[in-house]
Structure 1
């Protein structure tokens, strides 16, 4: 495996680890009442508005495309 791929996986592991640590901290301290909003508090605030709902939907589609579909060459054959 190439060195840059390992570094990329390590960077994503650090990002998700930090996200889970912050979520755990917010849940342990009582959520938004303690000044540390959880992910559900943040999503609820964004989804309060239609533009926020569309933005989260677009982000969800983008993430799903890049995670699951982008590398599937057998689904997107170009006549070979």
Structure 2
């Protein structure tokens, strides 16, 4: 398996940190009008097309995160 560069881990850490900061600001100041991620998700889920789009993104993300590149136990190693 190839070694992952440190910059890749740093980028992911910054992205997750930004998401948690966004959510934290939205939850700490509810009267400020700062939307949280749950507000945005609720707005998208109010339409059937949005529900299907989020479901498709969820399937795509799950496939690329957990399934792609796996070596299953029953596969012939040769």
Normalising by structure 2, report the TM-score.
Answer: 0.84
Question: Which structure 1 residue ranges, 5 or more long, are not aligned?
Answer: none
Work out which of the residue numbers 27, 36, 39 in structure 2 matches 1:38: 36
Cα RMSD after superposing both structures: 2.2
Cα distance change on mapping 1:74 and 1:17 into 2, 3 Å: same
Structure 1 distance, partners of 2:73, 2:55, is: 23
* Unaligned ranges ≥5, structure 2: none
Runs of 4+ in 1 over 6 A off after TM superposition: none
Q: How many residues align?
A: 77
Q: TM-score, normalised by structure 1?
A: 0.82
Q: Which residue number corresponds to residue 5 of structure 2? A: 5
Q: How does 1:1-80 map onto structure 2 within 5 Å?
A: 2=3, 5-30=5-30, 33-74=31-72, 77=75, 80=78
Cα pair distance change 1:76/1:38, threshold 3 Å: farther
